[in-house]
Chain A
Amino acid sequence: MSALLEIAGLKRHFGGLWAINGVDLRIERGTIHALIGPNGAGKTTLIHLISGAQRPTAGRIVFAGADIAHRNMHERVALGITRSYQITQIFPHLPVLENVCLAVLSRRRDWGSSFRMCRPASADFRMTAEAEEWLGRVGLAESAGQLAADLAHGQQRALELAMALATRPRLLLLDEPMAGMGPEESAHMAALIAALKGTQTVLLVEHDMDIVFRLADRISVLVAGRVIVSDAPGVVRNHPDVRRAYLGDDSQ
């Protein structure tokens, strides 16, 4: 079976710096694929390129058989690629439930034609019910009526995950979902991601190596804008190049 996402010869430079310098990457359907690498290796740039926030200088990004390297971000969401951000991106002054409702709403692709301007959205019980269901999945059912700004940091990250899931992506890009979290919140987030295993294809960028090695089916190591290894966690852990470039020679 062909991979869900296949990246070949991807490059992106900023001025004289090649942030991404010839990346090849395959992500198989239904796997949690982790992307690790030292700071400045280009992990977030790669997420930007896959999600459409930035365009590559060269190379191909083939998603489900079609090259999407030059599609808009919202077109890629429509095709099935949704991302989360390293820094929390929510609608702070809207209720938690409305945050997720907007995500559900975005899936209706009839913006161009009818715009659904005339029917009051609050009458749309199905949308609300679905949004509540996503909130339940991430453990925020109780907070539906609160303003998103009033949630604790960890809860806001969980809300972001619910919003991303509510767009029903075929590929979910998670950029450091545990950033800034305490151990308890991290564990909760790890459990939420673990629950996706087997059904949702995920590309996960994360610094916490314990969590990465526990959750990932495959791990790719990005160093200086290149993937140096892409393999099962056991292989990556003991790979000499990885140890030298990333984990540090004398670790363990």
Chain B
Amino acid sequence: MNKSRRGNFVEAGVLLAAAGLPFILLALGEAFYIGFATRLLIFALAATSLNFIVGYGGMVAFGHAAFFGGGAYVVAFLMQAGIVSAWIAWPLAILATVVAALAIGALSLRTRGVYFIMITLAFAQMIYYSIISLQSAGGDDGLPLAQRSTLAPLDLASDTTLYWIALATLAICLIALRRLARSPYGRALAGLRQNEQRMEALGFPVDRLKLVCFVIGAGVAGLAGALLANQEGLASPNLLYWTQSGMLLVMVILGGVGQRYGGVLGALVLLGLEEALGQITEYTHLVIGLALLAVVLFAPHGLAGLARRRRA
């Protein structure tokens, strides 16, 4: 009881500090970093959504870019069609990714293990090549947004507002994730990760439970994509490419598979390292690769697992 209350205080403190960050950056004259921080939050959201599928649902999906990038493209397409309101475009971005995930998941979940990895990758690459071959989607150049979505009564044109929206979305998703993990559904997922055959024999509709997990993760990734399109002013084909799926997976592994803050920590560390190292060396990815190796070898539960062990 006491420990969880202390944990709540820490979480509330971090959230408060994060909410105040734009003021500090503005005071320091580093307004540029508000955009970078927003990017961090959005990738944290995307990595968390993948962690839900990989770490909670026990499915190593290698096609998350399809949903992340898909959300971005839906917002860009809608804007091209004159639909500017976020109240319409963002839910539609979620809906589109959910529908796509239902189809992809239903087919992919007939397989397990390596085959599941390969088939989710294949579907994602199919979507990538379909989009870049579309003239109306801008091909290799991506689809720029004429403006940011409007989120009346808020003013999304302000970088600070977009930052807070991303922060609020991430916070809500993390709270939802905690509730979900403790719900009967979350307990069923925990059982699934350990012994799928047993769960089936106890009468759980195993494939359906996994599909729901896959679809929830995809929907959140779609929302993250919608946010990122607004942050970057562009739906880029890079977001759909398999390296993006790989990067999100690296974030999850770095941060901690199945750890609530795994996705967040992974995104912070990976993008933070890229940004910091990018200024001093060309070998950014070598350093990140070594960091990943170290985590896999010495901290199997990732950075979040290390933090938890120290506290306990």
Contacts and interface: CB of A to CB of B under 8 A. Distances in A.
Contact of B204 (A53, A90, A98, A106): A106
Nearest to B197: A89
A74 B179 contact: no
Nearest to A98: B187
A117 B205 contact: no
A94 B201 contact: no
Q: Which range contains the number of B residues in contact with the other chain?
A: 20 to 34
A105 B188 CA distance: 8
Contact of B202 (A82, A120, A122): A82
A163 B191 CA distance: 13
Q: Which range contains the number of A residues in contact with the other chain?
A: 35 or more
User: In terms of DSSP, what is the predominant structure of the interface of chain B?
Assistant: helix
B200 interface: yes
Contact of A92 (B182, B194, B197): B194
Given A74-B206, A92-B194, A121 B201 contact: no
A107 interface: yes
Which of A82, A120, A124: most chain B CB closer than 10 A? A120
B198 interface: yes
B190 interface: yes
Contact of A118 (B183, B201, B202, B209): B183
A77 B183 CA distance: 22
Contact of B183 (A92, A101, A117): A117
A108 B197 CA distance: 19
User: In terms of DSSP, what is the predominant structure of the interface of chain A?
Assistant: loop
Which of A78, A90, A91: most chain B CB closer than 10 A? A91
A83 interface: yes
B198 A91 contact: yes
A124 B195 contact: no
Contacts of A98: 187
A85 B188 contact: no
A74 B182 contact: no
Interface string B173-201: 00000011011111110110011011111
Contacts of B204: 74, 106, 111
Given A77-B201, A106-B203, A167-B202, A116 B184 contact: yes
Contacts of A107: 203
A239 interface: no
A124 B186 CA distance: 14
A167 B201 CA distance: 10
B201 A115 contact: no
B212 interface: yes
Contacts of B186: 117, 121
B208 interface: yes
- 3 closest Cβ contacts across the A-B interface? A77-B203, A106-B203, A106-B202
Interface of B: 179-180, 182-188, 190-191, 194-195, 197-206, 208-209, 212
14 contacts: A72-B205, A74-B204, A77-B201, A77-B203, A78-B203, A89-B198, A91-B191, A94-B194, A98-B187, A101-B187, A102-B202, A115-B185, A118-B183, A120-B179
